[in-house]
Structure 1
Amino acid sequence: MSFRMTLQWLMFAWANLGRNRRRTLATLTLTAIGVLGIMSTSGFALYTYDSLREFSMREHGHVILHHPLYFTEDEEFPLEYGLSDYRAQQTTLLSDTRVRHVLASIRFNGLITNGNKSTIFLGEGVEPEVFQVRGPATTLVEGRLLSMTPDPMADYEVLLGKQLAHALRAEPGTGLTLMGTTADGLLNAIDVQVRGIVQTGIPEVDSRLVIAHLESAQDFLLTDKVSQIGVYLRDSQQAEPFYRALTDNAQTTTAESIAVTPWHERAMFYNSVRNLYNRIFGVMGTILLLMVGFAIFNTASMSVLERTREIGTLGAMGTQRKEIMTLFLFEAALLGVLGSLLGLLLSGFVSGGLLVFDVQMPPPPGQTEGYPLQVYWSPMIAWISTAIVSGLALLASTAATLRSIHKPITEALNHV
């Protein structure tokens, strides 16, 4: 079909849609609402995925280096499956121009006391640069963050979770004592001073969290090991190729002493939310598409029913059935495309409006802090939505038209 003929068919289809403007407008509106719903729900899901992915990468690093048994076996004593020669690993990794930070950390636990009250704590020994990459994942509520270089002549510095500080009646400058088991299985205790109070937004974490310098945690555990090494890249898009390159290198060099894990294998919350949202929004999208399909089918059916005598007249004049079918398909395609474009335009206004107006979502389950609502406008989903809606429109029109165009001409001409 030539371009000129296609243009003529489109003009005929446009004129036929204008016969019943109210019905056409209602169908376009319903189609636009369906596309708006698909774009909004998928855009919210994409925003959520990006936020959780960024949070997970900031917390653990894009790639994690650790002992092969660290994540799979329970340790009988602290840092049984720790890494010893971590400084050499850091130096080697920092020579790669793709790497921004290489930060070691230690996970430990024990009891913390103010002299009158004791409670269990979950400790984390970190290098101070970690707060530069974590950003809002760890918010300072009061006091100051850990100093870049600990003072060997002063008490060890620590940061307390907000709920833990409240339980111990601690504030910046308060002295506390940490007690626990060393890497050799012995009991040890050190005096610490609260430098600041932080909040992660997760009450269960904030009620147990103690953050100390990496060296302070090593002194407490009487070891030179670390639990893991987090590699933070300059570009998140390089995470997968960097992981593959690092894995290949580990297999040929230090496979017996070190393992490499990508960020998403430790992002349990991210994976759970993604799987849940995929199912929820998948069902919602299917329902919206079915709604659009039935709306166009109803419009096409009513149009065919009203124009049965016209179809018979065209047949009596020698018009082929495929040409009559083509006309109805062009009408359906116009409905699908125009309705989709209107829905995409509305979704663009929604996405832009949420960037201008601060709409806050309530705190997610298990957290105390809300977050700003945003909806991404995805070109890929826009193309997919338009293609699916247009395809559904063609299928619906075909199903509605087939029966009428195969009626005998005499029966079609006598239709009332």
Structure 2
Amino acid sequence: MQALKVKFLLVLRNILRHKRCSTISISSVTFGIVALLLASGFIEFIFQDFRETTIRSQLGHLQIVKPHYFEAGKADPYRFLFPDDLEQNLSNNFTLSNDIHPIETIVPRLSFSGLISHGDATLSFIGEGVDPQEQVYFGNALKISTGSNLSADHPDHLIMGEGLARNLGVKAGDQIVLLVNTATGGINAVEMIIGGLFSTVTKSYDDSALRLPISTARQLLRTQGAHSWVVLLNDTNQTDQMLAALRNTLSQDCFEIVPWYQLADFYNKTTVLFTKQVQAIKLIITLIILLGISNTMTMNVVERTGEIGTAMALGVKKFDILRQFLCEGALIGGIGGALGILIGWLLATIISNIGIPMPPPPGMARGYIGEILLTSNMVLEALALAILTTLIASVYP
């Protein structure tokens, strides 16, 4: 223990003795770690915000449907309807209590499509019959930009995406006509009032989607039941756990339980793109640290040629000298990494409190206020990267 302490003090003394080289090296590491943390934290916030908004505005954490509904449901939707008593059966199997169970709520969805008309304009749409009370649990991820959300007191009101309203040339308060194919093969129409316009994170969804109370949708389609039951959890991290529990509880012959990440195609493609960008940033920062440390360590070795020769003349082995320089590099990496983490955390806190106004990215319907979200894994990764790169950069000189 005493020998390790002596070696550590010797390495620290050498770093303090060569202030110029050490300062340049530590600054290079610190700058790189700060840049890595801020970039990674910003992407991490985008992932989390995009994920939660996608879940709470559209998909829920899990969807319970009949087998093969997502493959063949659009061609023959009425063959995949659940009966009305499914809600009671699900409630009997799962106690919806926030205190003792991860399930926050289970709500029905009735999907359909048809034509929407206003004046001389007619467009196709995709519609969903939803429980007006679900907004109590799902929050404001589906943002109402104009008007108000669905209400059980106004069964003749619907809400539609801003893009669909813009294409149709309507606004909140206007009256429209919905035309659909019924379950018996006929055609039915209903006049409704646009109660509000909404926006989600997905522009393509907002350009074609509308929602109305599920009771009105059932009357319009002349059917009962629901196509899917959407499960909302208290914590997204419990998705896989509840997926396994539901699959073990419900018969696989009658039910298919699909997690949100299998349905969120746009989210998955976006995260793949951003992950590649973060990896590219990590590679660039690693190269910057390697080049910076290699240069300063080379200068350090050249300046200490006499010292190295004296040590070898006194019997110090080449391996011991190499180990000393590696320890100096590791200590420089540790100090630079620690400073980078501290400065990165302070900047992340300040930036998050101020917020970063961001325009709508491609394929998204609205802008957002960006933040920097740092995680423990991210911090440990950054510290390990700092120490590892300085160790590698110390070998060659």
The two structures have a TM-score, normalised by structure 2, of 0.91
Match of 1:321 among 318, 322, 326: 318
| Counterpart amino acid of residue 186 in structure 1 | G
Match of 2:348 among 351, 375, 385: 351
Among 129, 142, 146, the residue aligned to 2:146: 142
Aligned to 1:51: 49
The 1:196/1:289 distance shift into structure 2, 3 A limit, reads same
Partner of 2:118: 114
Q: Could you say if the C-alpha distance between residues 87 and 274 of structure 1 is closer, same or farther in structure 2, counting changes exceeding 3 Å?
A: same
Secondary structure of residue in 1 paired with 2:69: coil
The one-letter code sitting in structure 2 at the alignment partner of 1:180 is: V
Q: Which amino acid aligns with 1:391?
A: L
Aligned to 2:227: 227
Which stretch has the larger CA shift, 138-147 or 216-225?
Answer: 138-147
Which of 376, 380, 385 is matched with 2:382 structurally? 385
Q: 2:296 aligns to what?
A: 299
The letter for the 2-side match of 1:233 is L
> In the alignment, residue 281 of structure 1 is paired with which amino acid?
V
| Higher mean C-alpha deviation, range 39-48 or range 169-178 | 169-178
2:136 corresponding residue in structure 1: 132
Amino acid at match of 2:306: R
- Shift, 1:51, TM fit: 1.3
Q: Which amino acid aligns with 1:39?
A: L
Q: Which amino acid aligns with 1:214?
A: I
State the superposition RMSD in angstroms: 2.2
Counterpart residue number, 1:331: 328
Structure 1 counterpart of 2:181: 181
**Map of 1:252-291 to 2, 5 A cutoff?**
254-291=251-288
**Matched residue SS, 1:108:** strand
Q: Do the aligned partners of 2:199 and 2:366 also contact (CA within 8 Å) in 1?
A: no
CA distance in 2 between counterparts of 1:46 and 1:141 reads 27
**CA contact under 8 A between 1:351 and 1:376: conserved in structure 2?**
yes
Task: Give the alignment of 1:83-102 within 5 angstroms.
Answer: 83-85=82-84, 86-92=86-92, 94-97=94-97, 98=101, 99-102=103-106
Once the 2 structures are TM-superposed, how far is the Cα of residue 292 of structure 1 from its aligned partner? 0.9
* Counterpart in the other structure of 1:405: none
CA gap 1:108/1:281 in 2 versus in 1, 3 angstroms:
same
Distance in 2 between residues matched to 1:73 and 1:29, nearest whole Å: 59
> Residue by residue, what CA displacement relative to the aligned partner does 1:65-109 show, whole Å, maximum 9, x if unpaired?
001111112533443322224333443355243222111111211
Deviates more, 1:336-345 or 1:234-243: 234-243
Deviations 1:266-320 (A, max 9, x none): 1212211222222221122022112212222222222112222221111222233
Flag the 1:381–1:242 CA change in 2: closer, same or farther, 3 A.
same
> Which sections of structure 2, spanning at least 5 residues, go unmatched?
none
Cα deviation for residue 165 of structure 1 reads: 3.3
The answer to whether the 8 Å contact 1:94/1:101 transfers is no
Structure 1, 289-298 or 338-347: larger mean CA deviation = 289-298
Deviation at 1:6, TM superposition (A): 2.3
CA separation in 2, counterparts of 1:133 and 1:119?
A: 31
**Secondary structure at 1:104's aligned position in 2?**
strand
The equivalent of 1:61 in structure 2 is: 60
Tell me the number of residue pairs that the alignment of Structure 1 and Structure 2 aligns.
391
Deviation at 1:247, TM superposition (A): 0.6
What is the SS of the residue equivalent to 2:211? strand
Q: Write the deviation string for residues 325-383 of structure 1: whole angstroms up to 9, x where unpaired.
A: 33222211221111111111121122111122122122111234211121122222222
Matched-pair contact (CA < 8 Å) for 1:78–1:182: no
Change (3 A) 1:40 1:117: same
Assess, with a 3 A threshold, how the Cα gap between structure 1 residues 236 and 367 changes in structure 2: closer, same or farther. Answer: closer
Q: Distance in 1 between matches of 2:195 and 2:72?
A: 34
Cα 1:164/1:317, change in 2 over 3 Å: closer
Q: Matches of 2:196 and 2:153 in 1, distance apart?
A: 16
1:239 matched residue in structure 2: 239
CA distance in 1, matches of 2:216, 2:190: 9
Deviation at 1:244, TM superposition (A): 0.2
Q: Which has the larger radius of gyration?
A: 1
The DSSP-based 3-state class of the residue aligned with 1:6 is helix
1-structure distance, mates of 2:219, 2:357: 43
State whether residues 293 and 389 of structure 1, in contact with CA within 8 Å, keep that contact through their aligned partners in structure 2.
no
